[in-house]
Every structure is written in structure tokens, then in C-alpha cells.
Amino acid sequence: MIIKKIESRRARCGVIGLGYVGLSLMVAIANAGFRVTGIDICQQKLERLKNGISDIPDVPDSVLGPFIESGQIQVTDDYSVLSELDTVNICVPTPLSENKSPDMQFITAAVQQIAMHLHTEQLIILESTTYPGTTEEIILPMLQKTDISGTLQVGQDFYLAYSPERIEPGNSTFFMANTPKVIGGVTTKCTQIANTFYEQYINKTHTVSSPRIAEMVKLLENTFRSVNIGLINEVALICDRMDLDVWEIIDAAATKPFGFMPFYPGPGPGGHCIPIDPHYLSWKARTYQYHARFIELASEINSSMPKHVLDKVIQALNQHRKSLNGSKILVIGVAYKKDIGDIRESPSFEVMRLILDNGAQILYHDPHVSNIILGGEDIYHSETLTKSIIESVDCVVILTDHSNIDYELIVRHAAVVVDTRNATHSIQHSSSNIIKI
């Protein structure tokens, strides 16, 4: 019955958690012709969405607005709507707690609500990144427990699956529809129904044998990135001591048409995924008496990179007989990666904190981030990048290699430039004032 409703677009869909993932998903489902209800607990966000205002650049107001106006997308904080919905995708945050263990509170809060409104022929899919076992060990018992009559059985009466979200903020080549979706249901029927649902708006789906496999796939993908970034950061640290240009080496190695994939060093990975997800895996591995050494070592090296950048700034100033204490430093780029305004877990903040702690003054320029809070309460505004501002500072540090920045202007007028992203690679003439990591 639910399959027919999905295939005929009569199914009423719901998305819980309207952030980067949930908002994009809600629009993708609506684009396929479904009516969608988004549920979130953040009142300010709901107000903006009700006015057709999106928080994320990948979902422009021009796309969201018409769906809100026509009523095809509705948003609410009222969970009772769940009893009218045929499909529910959970896209709530999965952060780390203070001791770097998984913080499941957002998932359990959402599932408690679903449990109260669970009904026959309902499809529940978890999309939040999490450790293997979450769907079957946490969600399934919570849903089956609510079964007052004792007749709602997973795979027969309701359907439960896990499907990791793979969107990358700012990636205009790969977006939701053309990024294959991995799906693992609790039973074969759960997988089949979830697969049918995704087939309506994702070009290619890939089913796996269980939710645990699908959960592990996501952690493998992100741990793969974290470990490779950790490796290349370590190679950069070695090259630094050997006075070798790591960037030239990577470019040359990347000419090998097989068996090598380029990763690049930098001030450290940021964003919602790479700094967090590997800890989910190493935490779960510990419950199996396994200490995930590679994964933890990579995180350790990656989180040491801001200190390495600080050392480079000190070295750059030293060359000009200046100390960091009392200097004025212009930071270029505070977002965690190029061409987006996302500052979550951005390593730029750790670098700036270290610079401030050492008695220097900070200015910053980021075309995508108009203001930031540093050192507790202090609000900083993005400076306009001019010759006079570049000349007024003792050192310029490039932390994010945004495309639309005049690196030529920076190199021409800065006393010294610390380039952590090789953003100045094409500027040949005055490279003597550039220090790379």
C-alpha cells in the first residue's frame, strides 16, 4: 500500500531537523512532486522558513519560496503531524559530547516523538551520521516499545531503514539527485520500500544488507578522508623539516593515473563531518575492545595543524625581526573550506585563538562570512581587502583559499604571507615573501 502511495506521489512525507541536510532533502522530495512537512524545534529557523527564507546557500530562496507559497512544503514544531505522514526522514544533529563520545540526545528526542505517533504503513528512515547499530539498537526498540496492542511489527506494519546523507555543502557538481544513495533496511521489505522512496528523486540507489552496513559505509567514507588528510598533513610536517615543497610533490604524484589520490595539507579539517564522524567509529570500536589507532592518530595530527600554522606565523615574523606579541595579523578566510560561508568546526578559529593568546591583534577578510565572534564576546567584522589594509599588517595568513580573493594584491603588498592552502601557487614574481606549510 505504501509503495503505491509513494509511486503515485500521494504519500505525505516528513523531514525532522531542517538544517543543511534536512532542508536540502525536504526540497528534493518536494521537487519530485510530494507534499512535505518539515519539523524543527528552532523557532527562529521556522519563522524564516515560513517566509521562504533559507539558511543555506545550496537551497536558494528562489527555490524554497514557491514551495512554501503553494503549501507543498509546510514547516512546524508540532510533532502531532507525524500521525498523518507516510514517510519520515530523521536529519537531526549527531555531535560529540565533551569526552568525544556520540551524543545521541537529538536522535532519541526525535524518535520518542515518532514513537508516540507511529502507525501502520509508515516508513521511518534515519539519515543522521552515526555509529553502526544505532538504528537497530536504539531506534527499533523505542518504536516497538510503543506498540500498545502488540501488533505493530517492523517489516510488516511499519518500515525502518538507515540511509546516510552524502551532500557536500557548496559542491555544485554533485548534489542530492546525482549522488548515489546507500540504503539498508531492518528487513528486506524495509529496504525495498525505502529504496522505492529514494528512487523517486535520486538517480541511483545502492541497497545493502542491513542498517549497520549502511551506517558503517558513512563512517568509512568520512574516516577515509580524515585519515588521508592526516597522512598528508604528516607528510607536510616532514617536508617542512626537509625543506621540500609538499604541494609540488603532491601535484607530481597525482600524475600517476592509478593507485594515488591527491589530498592536500592545511590548517586542519573542519565542518560537520570530518572532525566528528571518525570519533563515532573509534568510540564504537572501543566497545568491541578495539583501539582504532590509525583513526585516532589522524585526528591527533589534524588537530595539531593550527599549532603548526602558528609556528609558521612566528617564523615569518621572525624573518622581519618581529615578535608575534604586539603584531597585527590579517587572516584570509575563516570558513572551513573554500567558497562557502560555513564556519562549523573551522580550524581558522583555533589558529586565531592561538594568535590572540600570544598577544597579537587580528583582522580578517572572508567574502562569505561577514562577522564572527572571537575570544568569548568580541565581534569581528570582515575587512574590505585593500592595499592599505594589507600594508598596515605585519603578516597575512591565508587559512581558506576562497576563489574570489585577489591573491596577487595580497602578495604584492604584504610584508610576509603565510599560505596554508597553496592559494598563491600561480603568483611567481614575488614569492620570496610567501611561506607555505
Ligand X SMILES: NC(=O)c1ccc[n+]([C@@H]2O[C@H](COP(=O)([O-])OP(=O)(O)OC[C@H]3O[C@@H](n4cnc5c(N)ncnc54)[C@H](O)[C@@H]3O)[C@@H](O)[C@H]2O)c1
The residue annotated as part of the active site, out of 13, 91, 239, 273, is 273
Confirm or reject binding of residue 45 to ligand X (CB under 6 A): yes
Phi, psi of 206 (to 5 degrees): -140, 110
Does residue 273 have an active-site annotation?
A: yes
Confirm or reject binding of residue 40 to ligand X (CB under 6 A): yes
37, 54, 89, 128: residue in contact with ligand X (rule CB under 6 A): 128
Asked if 114 contacts 17 with a C-beta cutoff of 8 angstroms, the reply is: no
**In this structure, how many other beta carbons lie within 10 angstroms of the beta carbon of residue 285?**
17
- 186-195 burial by CB neighbour count: b if 16+ within 10 A, else e? bbeebbbbbb
From residue 18 to residue 37, what is the string marking binding to ligand X with x (rule CB under 6 A)?
Answer: xxxxx---------------
- Sites for ligand X among residues 77-106 (CB under 6 A): 91-94, 106
Q: What is the DSSP string of 9-23?
A: T--EEEEE--SHHHH
* HSE-CB for 199 with a 13 A CA cutoff: 12
Asked if 198 contacts 163 with a C-beta cutoff of 8 angstroms, the reply is: yes
From residue 355 to residue 374, what is the string marking binding to ligand X with x (rule CB under 6 A)?
Answer: --------------------
Confirm or reject binding of residue 54 to ligand X (CB under 6 A): no
- Counting residues that bind ligand X (by CB under 6 A) gives 26
| H or E segment and range at residue 35 | strand 35-39
Q: In this chain, which stretch among 11-19, 183-191, 254-262, 369-377 interacts with ligand X, using CB under 6 A? A: 11-19
37, 129, 233, 433: residue in contact with ligand X (rule CB under 6 A): 129
Of residues 20 and 263, the one with the C-beta less far from ligand X: 20
Of residues 165 and 401, the one with the C-beta less far from ligand X: 165
Q: In this chain, which stretch among 1-9, 10-18, 226-234, 235-243 interacts with ligand X, using CB under 6 A? A: 10-18
Of residues 50 and 387, the one with the C-beta less far from ligand X: 50
What whole-number distance in Å separates Cα of residue 138 and Cα of residue 276?
A: 20
* One-letter-per-residue 3-state SS of 92-159: CCCCECCCCCECCHHHHHHHHHHHHHCCCCEEEEECCCCCCCHHHHHHHHHHHHCCCCCCCCECCCEE
Per DSSP, what are the bridge partners of residue 15? 38, 89
Q: In this chain, which stretch among 15-23, 28-36, 142-150, 205-213 interacts with ligand X, using CB under 6 A? A: 15-23
By the criterion CB under 6 A, which residues form the site for ligand X? Answer: 16-22, 39-42, 45, 91-94, 106, 109-110, 128-129, 165, 167, 169, 272-273
Active site residues: 273
